[in-house]
Structure 1
Amino acid sequence: MSYTTAALLGVVAAVLVDLLILRTRLVTRRVFWATYPIIFTFQLISNGILTGRNIVRYDPDAIIGWRLVYAPVEDLLFGFALVLLTLSIWVALGRRGIQRTPAAGEGSRLLKRLRRNGG
């Protein structure tokens, strides 16, 4: 499977998870599309550094060859899929009241023990 195919499948899968499985519908929200350019900009910067300096190289046979700045289009698609999937899971877990332990702001177990023991 080429990187192009994998990137396209990633986008399709992330959109299906967002719309049909988790039903978070982020891709239908204006706020998602209004804030995505921020992520996109930083993706272009980091990708430009990595690919522009030949730290990361792509097999020309695995990509279609279209680039934005130095980033292969496939990287931008793959990045979109990663961001959408991550945010969809985050929103879905938040709706269910699931959060990590300790909850944000509570600190670690070590800090709690130190406070209890006067340390």
Structure 2
Amino acid sequence: MSYTVAALLGVAGALVADLFVLRTALVRRVVFWATYPIIIVFQLLSNGILTGRHIVIYDPDAILGLRIAYAPVEDLLFGFAMVLLTLSVWVWLGRRGVQPGPRAGEGSKLLRRLRR
């Protein structure tokens, strides 16, 4: 399987998990898309260093050949899938009270005190 196919399957899987399995619907939120460019900047920076210095080398037959900051465009797809799935699981667990702190969206005890 090529890296391109794997990256596309990763995006599809993350979208299915976000929208239908976990039902967190992060991709429907403005805040997700407003903050995602921050992740892209740092992803391109790290990918550019790793691929530009030939620390990571891709098989030309496994990628499309389009590159951004030395890294194959598939890395952006893979990064999107990884971030979306991680955040979706985090929000899903937080809504179920799995984390020891405040539930997702409640804020910290300090912030609640300051609001009073």
Give the TM-score range, shorter chain.
0.7 to 0.9
Query: TM-score, normalising length from structure 2?
Result: 0.85
Matches within 5 A, 1:10-29: 10-29=10-29
Structure 2: how far apart are the matches of 1:6 and 1:85?
A: 15
Q: Which residue number in structure 1 is paired with residue 35 of structure 2?
A: 35
**Cα RMSD, aligned residues only:** 0.8
Query: How far apart are the structure 1 equivalents of 2:16 and 2:70?
Result: 29
4+ runs deviating over 2 angstroms: none
Residue in 2 aligned with 1:49? Answer: 49
Larger Rg: 1
Q: CA deviation at 1:56?
A: 0.2
Matched positions, count: 101
Name the CA distance, whole Å, in 2 between partners of 1:66 and 1:53.
Answer: 18
CA apart distance, 1:69 = 1.4
Q: Distance in 1 between matches of 2:20 and 2:73?
A: 26
- Secondary structure of 1:61's match? helix
Matching of residues 25-104 of structure 1 within 5 Å: 25-99=25-99, 103=100
Unaligned residue ranges in structure 2 (runs of 5+)? 102-116
Helix, strand or coil at the partner of 2:11: helix
Instruction: Give the TM-score normalised by the residue count of structure 1.
Output: 0.83
Alpha-carbon offset, residue 71 of structure 1: 1.5
